[in-house]
Amino acid sequence: MQTFWEDVDRHLVRYGGTFTREIIDSASGSFLFTEDGRRILDFTSGQMSAILGHSHPRIVATVQRQIANLDHLFSGMLSRPVVDLARRLAGTLPASLQKVQLLTTGAESNEAALRMAKLVTGKHEVVAFARSWHGMTAGAAAATYSAGRKGYGPVSGNFAIPVPSGDWLAQLDLAFDLIDAQSVGSLAACIVEPILSSGGILEPPLGYFTALQAKCHERGMLLIFDEAQTGLCRTGTWYAFERDGVVPDILTLSKTLGAGLPLAAVVTSAEIEAEAHARGYLFFTTHVSDPLVAAVGNTVLDVLVEDRLDERAVKLGAHLRTGLDDIAARHDLVTDVRGRGLLVGVEIGDESLHTPITRKCLELGLHMNIVQTPGMGGVFRIAPALTTTEEELELGLSILDEAIGSTSA
């Protein structure tokens, strides 16, 4: 084990914070297993992605079957899994969202969406929330404000608007007054998460996205929803934007679509796709339309539908919320519990205890993720698999309760 960590220190680039001091050997369902035999309950579904748990039997079977038959193609070639997934995804969405491009990561899908919006509108300026996270590629990073902006050189043509609070309509009016004053007349798109995750599990109030869409369309901007973490049943509906009755011009999916494998999608209307094509839209990547992960995406949809995991997310989410509310009632350290379905945030008031609670949870066998970005507040992001059981939720709640209690004491 000592040699392992020596190799880590000697050879790995550190790409964000510190590495968890565990060697993960395997994973199954809701649990990770370390090389030294410890079992860790995964309350983040990997990187908020493994909505069917780890090594789901049907995903395993699909990967084994597909990789033995057709894994990767020249990017201009097509296969049945790709076209099937595009058709089926469109079938889960409002009628206007029917054109699909399959990619790999959330950053890549957001990059493609922004390129498409800029090309179609003939403009280049982008608006995003001040607590946003849309990825680390150039365009996605330029629209990311929760972290990673300092030290990478100039970013032009990007504007931040505040996450709504208080009199949010007046706040939104002021935000766009300021954008109009700064814009060079080239507003192309606004990209937002329906529930901000890295921003601290913040959900704008009902009516906000209707008003935001109106602001966008008044200016000829396209509205992009990034549902990397909220899409595909996690919040109790297939897509988080369903609550508001607002249909975006472009939708991006990732994380949950591949249930832990690298699969993402850009979905838009036939009209926008036709205009983009007419203007020479180019997003030709090594793994665009790969059959292997597309087959996995089809299996993900199968399981979501057959096991009614949207309904399960509502039921389990209510159970989780009840347990967290109970913890909050007994620990003054917990200042808020919020979220929807199986994407929940637990805010910890004392900044000095954020890391100790996280470490104590891991010591007791629970992996948690806390937002520690300056100014974002200390919010545990809880996103278990949709296949988790009530008993596993109870285990996680008991460990979190013990960790908060013992650390604060």
From the candidates 42, 111, 125, 226, give the one annotated as an active-site residue: 226
Q: What are 380's strand-pairing partners?
A: 346, 370
> 24 is written with which tokens?
């993960």
From the candidates 108, 111, 193, 249, give the one annotated as an active-site residue: 193
Closest CA to 381 of 107, 170, 196: 196
Dist CA 192 CA 134 (whole Å): 8
Closest CA to 132 of 384, 385, 317, 371: 371
From the candidates 118, 215, 360, 381, give the one annotated as an active-site residue: 381
**Contact status, residue 342 vs residue 233, Cβ threshold 8 Å:** no
336 annotated active-site:
no
255 annotated active-site:
yes
340 annotated active-site:
no
From the candidates 133, 310, 321, 347, give the one annotated as an active-site residue: 133
From the candidates 42, 229, 347, 392, give the one annotated as an active-site residue: 229
133 annotated active-site:
yes
From the candidates 255, 312, 321, 340, give the one annotated as an active-site residue: 255
Dist CA 347 CA 339 (whole Å): 11
Q: Residue 315 class from Cβ within 10 Å (0-12 exposed, 13-18 middle, 19+ buried)?
A: middle
What are φ and ψ of residue 293, in 5° steps?
Answer: -75, -25
Closest CA to 52 of 285, 304, 294: 304
193 annotated active-site:
yes
Concatenating the DSSP letter of every residue in 32-89 gives EEETTS-EEEETTHHHHT-TT-BT-HHHHHHHHHHHTT-----TT---HHHHHHHHHH
DSSP, res 335: E
Active-site residues, by number, are 133, 193, 226, 229, 255, 381
